[in-house]
Amino acid sequence: MRVNEEIKAPKVRVIDIDGTQLGIYSAKDALKLAQERGQDLIEIAPQAKPPVCKIIDFGKFKYEQQKREKIQRKNQQVSLLKEIRLHPNTDVHDFEFKAKHAENFLEEGNKVKVVVMFKGREMAYTEQGEDLLNRFIEKVEDIAKVESPIKMEGRNMNVILVPSKTKSKK
């Protein structure tokens, strides 16, 4: 961000403190105008033709900018990836219990990665793992949608679910 003498453009568009446009001035004239008012000349949009500069107190401008950034960080939603692990022979009650946890994670606005882990000879029954993941998807389909489809990675089969925009209550 360029201030006062750092502005190198030959002509600049000048905006007053209250937001009204004063017109296009040479950089020297704009700086002189700002100094007459006891303010600084700050380049706001350097990519514009001609660059846009505002007459304002630099300290106040910086403070307001930090305040805006703080509010943006506060309102920013951080999405975590939660993982639910299953096995091809997971019992019905365990399945329901883990599905309930996944629903809670999704309602909080987090992504959920559901993993079916295969051990030893279970690798011969990958279709059971796929059926389990499809049942899981059906169980939470009213509050979630599939981000990445079911895929096999080594001895694990997984799917990633994200909260659907309509039902999320965070």
Provide the CATH number for the domain around residue 98: 3.30.110.10
Tell me: do 88 and 157 sit in the same domain.
Answer: yes
Write down the pTM of the prediction: 0.56
What per-residue confidence (pLDDT) applies to 49?
87
What CATH number should be reported for the domain holding residue 26? 3.10.20.80
Domain contains 170:
no
- pLDDT, averaged per 10 consecutive residues of the chain (170 residues), comes to 85 89 88 89 88 90 91 80 92 93 91 94 90 93 90 93 68
Whole domain around residue 16: which residue ranges? 4-73
Tell me: do 55 and 99 sit in the same domain.
Answer: no
What per-residue confidence (pLDDT) applies to 166?
58
User: What is the SS3 string spanning 131-154?
Assistant: HHHHHHHHHCCCCEEEEEEEEEEC
Q: How far apart are CA 133 and CA 144, in angstroms?
A: 14
CA distances (Å), 113 to each of 68, 102, 104, 121, 138, in order?
34, 9, 13, 24, 15
